[in-house]
Amino acid sequence: MVSNKKESREERTDLIDLSTIPEEEIKKALTFTKEDMPGPLLEESSFATLFPKYRESYLRDIWPLVTKALDAHGVACQLDLVEGSMTVSTTRKTWDPFIILKARDLIKLLARSVPFPQAVRILEDDVACDVVKIGNLVRNKERFVKRRQRLLGPNGNTLKAIELLTGCYAMIQGSTVAVMGPYKSLDMVRRIVEDCMKNVHPIYHIKELMIRKELAKDPKLANESWDRFLPRFKKRNTKPKKPKAAPKKKKKDEVFPPQPPPTKIEQQLQTGEYFLRPDEKRARQIERRKQASAEGRVKKDAERAKAFVAPKEAPAAQSSRSSGAGAGKKKADEDKAKLEELKSKLVAKAGAKAANKRPAGDGDVSEYVVGAAAGGKSKSKKAKKAA
């Protein structure tokens, strides 16, 4: 046991510390070239994927570029517009065994509406892709559309912020999100997308990524935990208040249960219909139907007759005349009453003056008689002429 522990310690000291080696040299050492593949592949591998109808015209236009990009790696490709599928397969010229998986990812991204200049980057060694399916995460369609729009943000600003912080390219199309970028960043983008569909706003993850980016610049915090610097957001789901239910009335404690409603046979026994013969029952049913149809006919006739009844009209001019006539009559009555009142006052005044002037014993009323006064005047004139 002691010897084995010593050997393991010696092996640990012989391990190379990769942090001391530049990244360029590591990348150069891990690069796969044609010289590393002495012979052709023993078996042919192929992958196929379907694409939607609206991508047909675009794929037909850029397919020569796809063929050219895959020929450089010795991979054959085929576009079938009848079945709506794309196929990639290895050939005798294929020298990289892993390139067929990269070609599979390429046609998958093209089917998910990723433009070709961006999708062709998947053939590079340090670029990977991930297609996040979000269609089954939310059942309600309206809620799904709102949360997908929340992931995109106003004018696509939220998605741009995620791309800048993670170094990935993201394409939202239908019920999937296609992501391209480094391997480490793909997990972060997937977590952001799935949390957004679970009603966690992407802004919380964006804040966390910004803080992590600033902490990574400080070499003193390289070997420390960053939990004390990261924000902790509590999930608050405020449930809507339910309206207060009306207080239930207490049921009276009854010894016997309520009486059930009478059955059809009991009703027939009460009316005496149960004891009738079948032909009499049939006759009653026919009579009831006739009566019901007659009542229905009367109602329909009444409804039809309503359409031919002229509505009562009250013209505006006639109403104004009647109102004007009523007002004029009222005014005339008021004027007449005032006139009668004035007349009675004048008569009373004149009577009072005459009573003051006349002597008590004078009974001649010829002055107040029109004919008598006129006859006296005519006589006096004739006498003057004769003289």
Pairing of strands 85-90, 46-50: antiparallel
Q: What is the pLDDT of residue 17?
A: 65
- What per-residue confidence (pLDDT) applies to 386? 47
E strand or H helix at 23: helix 23-30
> What topology does CATH give the domain 30-125?
Ribosomal Protein S8; Chain: A, domain 1 (3.30.1370)
In whole angstroms, give the CA distance from residue 190 to residue 134. Answer: 10
Q: What is the pLDDT of residue 13?
A: 45
The predicted structure's pLDDT at residue 373: 45
Q: Is residue 44 classed as helix, strand or coil in its secondary structure?
A: coil
Two domains, one topology: 30-125 and 126-231: yes
Q: What is the CA radius of gyration of the chain?
A: 56
List, for residues 280-300, the tens digit of each pLDDT value: 888 888 998 999 999 999 999
Q: What pLDDT score does 320 carry?
A: 47
Phi, psi dihedrals of residue 137, rounded to the nearest 5°: -80, -25
Between CA 148 and CA 177 the distance in angstroms is 10
CATH number at 126-231: 3.30.1370.10
What are the boundaries of each domain within the chain? 30-125, 126-231, 265-292
Structure tokens, 248:
């239930």
The residue behind tokens 């008569």 is 347
The two three-digit tokens of residue 269, written as one number: 């026994």
Provide the strand spans (E) within the chain: 46-50, 75-80, 85-90, 128-133, 169-173, 176-181
Q: What confidence score (pLDDT) does residue 100 get?
A: 92
In this prediction, the residues of the chain whose per-residue pLDDT falls under 70 are 1-19, 235-238, 251-253, 314-328, 354-387
